[in-house]
A and B are shown apart, each in its own frame.
Chain A
């Protein structure tokens, strides 16, 4: 038996890939998408995400979210183009349609309602919308590949409380739905109407009462099972740790935004991000010391995880470099409009980004989607 730590793809024992690896890969792709307006490259990125999702998607309710995110992307493109037609500043000279419009006064600079629609501005809006839609699709891919509860299990100990609240909320949602249907049933059994405003008003109180009662029971159960046992750390130390963590995260967020959003001062970007991460790690380690918790079967981080994460980050690196060096074809000029080119380096990096479809270990059998052929075989 070969060493499982280095086993890849079909050779590996079926297991879950670390959710962090999927997110790193997907965010890498998203970062790559944010650096280009070339529609061909954007479509390739979506294809790459789709290939990996179809190869390694588990059979779970949340795994079906990719299609939803794709549809959301289409909506985003449509909205972006419509917004351009209605409010956007006109670019270029190739007029497609001369619609009536109003120009707002000078002090409302640049804003215009309606007016002539040019090919250049339409293409600009289309590519811009596609970029956003691609980023959304990448997030959707991560969402359907990585189990949310497994991701929560791998959050650092300091964020554990937050993780628990999210898990509880996730299990509460389906119970709330069943509560609502129970209350509606009861209304029907008492001879009351189940439709309309009065029915909704009449069922809110019982539903919330039920939810409240359940949370009290759950709190009692968690307390009896040892939730919140601490290793004797003073409250002031705990507050200090939380302050470190919070300020670090805020700094990291601002830093990330500055990195991603073009046109922000360079000083805000990388240094702030790095400092933020550093302070957060400090806070997390301080907080981790007060918890006595241990972790059951944490997902390992082995070679496959490294390869998956690197595949995504590699695409990000190539696209960032290409944008920085103004590689021809990474941006598609819209004024005047030109046919998009296909630059070699980014395309190669996307080919690498597809490799998780092969290198990631397969899922345990019961969680793999059953294909039509297998279904027929079972029948």
Chain B
């Protein structure tokens, strides 16, 4: 169905090709998972499938890409629209119309499909993806998972043979991600559509994949094989695979279900052992860094937070979880005084952040927003660091030194836009930390981060907490929360519904339990590291 023959792609002005001598043949009706570090060329690979690279982006493509016999050299994206449906990373960026039903019909209108056929296909697709109730809704009013499903539906109505998705679950909470993946699986099983998707969160998708393509980047050859083969050798793996490696299970389990079947002996072995305790140093933990009391935030008629009362102490790392739109970001922005309409009390380091001038605020609380690029506006990393020193009234060179510690591989002359997702996050973190705020807030820090960068972030956050910072991170990433948090707070519908030590909250929740907890339930285990240290080298 999809043939890459010796394909090399070089963008204009770049010295090295993004992809070199790639040869892959994807058969019909497979779900193919594309993985690789950020900046390794995953998106380029995906966009080459429907000819957006190089027709739209420029650059040179050598070799041949053919889709169902059509060569992308002679067929621009619009001439492949009936064959390849592509869903961009941010579905909102690809919407042309304003309501769900119109968006579903848009592609078919462009292809000139008969009105009766269009009507039938829209109805079928609405049902297939469970969108029937949303048909008249404005796209702007949808949640993240709904938008992702509408974006998939909007390309499906053209009946493409190939569906290409760029990180379809990266912005979604675990529940919404399940919804989207279930819909994709149905397409592959029932309709024989070939699905190619890129994803960093292997733990979510690897069990559904028929094949995997690893793009190592830096011009190295692609690896193409079944997930079991690829996972045996891959340096990065979801927790369930790592647990399998630790326990020496063969074949390696890819899903929680497989792992549970093999885990009997391990569970028995772990009875009587306890995971290492995550305690916050007693003397420090008494100091309160921030508190809210009965915090209510309304947007028009919508109430985002209904009476939230909580505290953040020194040395704590709090994972703030909950579905999209539950009020996580609102709580974070209230803590930096951005919601001036809020009623109830907020204090950070003893002041109400709403009354603080920006210059004073940065010394008591720092927030890294969902898109860290928002914070960056200079044209080079060095300029950005200098500006941050000025903003924070810090000694010259403070930010640069921090950045060298967080991300040693970032060069002074690079434009912040050209940094990888992870590097941009660490630069923004360095900018925020320059003012030495005792309280650090991060909104969805692992969106789009690969495993190595994520584990780097885990180390950094733990170090910061040890140094006496309080950290609050809003996240959908249960594995990250299991790895780093000392306390988990679950928000639903603007209220705190669970708040307690990580192990208590996560293990008891079916939605937020990490993979290891699911495999070893009812044991109190959260991460592979915990299990490994409890076993202490003992053979399973």
Query: Beyond A221-B93, A224-B81, is A190–B431 a contact (Cβ under 8 Å)?
Result: yes
Inter-chain CA distance A362–B508, complex, in Å, is 51
Inter-chain CA distance A362–B120, complex, in Å, is 25
Contact of A229 among B110, B119, B358 (CB under 8 A): B110
Residues facing A in B115-151 (CB within 8 A) are 115, 118-119, 122, 136, 140
Query: Beyond A185-B338, A218-B96, A227-B78, is A296–B361 a contact (Cβ under 8 Å)?
Result: no
Query: Beyond A188-B358, A190-B391, is A225–B338 a contact (Cβ under 8 Å)?
Result: no
Contact of B52 among A186, A205, A224 (CB under 8 A): A224
Query: Beyond A171-B95, A189-B366, A366-B136, is A229–B111 a contact (Cβ under 8 Å)?
Result: yes
The yes or no answer to A337 lying at the interface (CB within 8 A) is no
What residues on B are CB-neighbors of A225 within 8 Å? 78, 81, 85, 96, 106-107, 110, 154-155, 158
The yes or no answer to A72 lying at the interface (CB within 8 A) is no
Q: How many residues of B contact A (CB 8 A)?
A: 66
Chain A positions 158 through 178: 1 when the CB is less than 8 Å from some CB of chain B, otherwise 0: 000000100110110010000
Contact of B107 among A149, A153, A182, A226 (CB under 8 A): A226
| Interface window among B97-105, B183-191, B249-257 | B97-105
What residues on A are CB-neighbors of B431 within 8 Å? 190
Tell me whether B93 and A214 are in contact (CB under 8 A). Answer: yes
The yes or no answer to B432 lying at the interface (CB within 8 A) is yes
Inter-chain CA distance A164–B109, complex, in Å, is 13
B75 to chain A, nearest CB (A): 11
Chain A positions 206 through 249: 1 when the CB is less than 8 Å from some CB of chain B, otherwise 0: 10000000100111111111111100000000000000000000
Tell me whether A186 and B93 are in contact (CB under 8 A). Answer: no
Closest chain B residue to A167 by CB distance?
B97
| Interface window among B367-375, B450-458, B498-506 | B367-375
Tell me whether A185 and B93 are in contact (CB under 8 A). Answer: no
Tell me whether A182 and B374 are in contact (CB under 8 A). Answer: yes
Query: Beyond A225-B96, A229-B79, A297-B105, is A186–B375 a contact (Cβ under 8 Å)?
Result: yes
The yes or no answer to B29 lying at the interface (CB within 8 A) is no
Tell me whether B377 and A205 are in contact (CB under 8 A). Answer: yes
The yes or no answer to B177 lying at the interface (CB within 8 A) is no
The yes or no answer to B423 lying at the interface (CB within 8 A) is no
Tell me whether A191 and B78 are in contact (CB under 8 A). Answer: no
Tell me whether B435 and A191 are in contact (CB under 8 A). Answer: yes
The yes or no answer to B359 lying at the interface (CB within 8 A) is yes
Closest chain A residue to B80 by CB distance?
A224
Tell me whether A296 and B95 are in contact (CB under 8 A). Answer: no
Query: Beyond A174-B140, A221-B93, is A191–B391 a contact (Cβ under 8 Å)?
Result: yes
Residue of B52, B79, B110, B337 with highest tally of chain A CB at under 10 A: B110
Tell me whether B96 and A223 are in contact (CB under 8 A). Answer: no
The yes or no answer to B82 lying at the interface (CB within 8 A) is yes
The yes or no answer to B59 lying at the interface (CB within 8 A) is no
Tell me whether B358 and A164 are in contact (CB under 8 A). Answer: no
Tell me whether A296 and B105 are in contact (CB under 8 A). Answer: yes
What residues on A are CB-neighbors of B81 within 8 Å? 224-226, 229
The yes or no answer to A325 lying at the interface (CB within 8 A) is no
What residues on B are CB-neighbors of A205 within 8 Å? 377
Tell me whether A226 and B94 are in contact (CB under 8 A). Answer: no
Tell me whether A364 and B136 are in contact (CB under 8 A). Answer: yes
What residues on B are CB-neighbors of A188 within 8 Å? 336-338, 358, 361
What residues on A are CB-neighbors of B136 within 8 Å? 364, 366-367
B443 to chain A, nearest CB (A): 11
The yes or no answer to A65 lying at the interface (CB within 8 A) is no
What residues on B are CB-neighbors of A168 within 8 Å? 96
A287 to chain B, nearest CB (A): 15
Inter-chain CA distance A266–B402, complex, in Å, is 80
Chain B positions 401 through 436: 1 when the CB is less than 8 Å from some CB of chain A, otherwise 0: 000000000000000000000000000000110010
What residues on A are CB-neighbors of B119 within 8 Å? 296-297
Tell me whether A296 and B94 are in contact (CB under 8 A). Answer: no
Residues facing B in A333-379 (CB within 8 A) are 364, 366-367
What residues on B are CB-neighbors of A222 within 8 Å? 96
Residues facing A in B28-76 (CB within 8 A) are 50, 52, 55-56, 76
Chain A positions 108 through 148: 1 when the CB is less than 8 Å from some CB of chain B, otherwise 0: 00000000000000000000000000000000000000000
What residues on A are CB-neighbors of B108 within 8 Å? 294, 296
Residues of B at under 8 Å CB distance from A?
50, 52, 55-56, 76-82, 84-86, 88, 90, 93-99, 101-102, 105-115, 118-119, 122, 136, 140, 154-155, 158, 333, 336-338, 357-359, 361-362, 366-367, 369, 371, 374-375, 377, 388, 391-392, 431-432, 435
Write 26 A-B pairs (CB below 8 A) sorted by A numbering: A167-B96, A170-B98, A171-B140, A182-B369, A186-B369, A188-B361, A189-B336, A190-B358, A190-B375, A191-B358, A191-B361, A191-B391, A193-B358, A206-B377, A217-B93, A218-B93, A220-B88, A225-B81, A225-B85, A225-B96, A225-B110, A229-B112, A296-B115, A296-B122, A298-B115, A366-B136
Contacts A149-B98, A206-B377 given; 17 further ones with Cβ under 8 A? A168-B96, A170-B98, A185-B374, A189-B366, A190-B358, A191-B391, A192-B359, A194-B358, A217-B88, A220-B77, A220-B88, A221-B95, A222-B96, A223-B78, A225-B85, A296-B102, A296-B108
Can you list the 4 inter-chain pairs with the closest CB atoms, starting with the nearest?
A: A226-B81, A221-B94, A296-B105, A292-B112
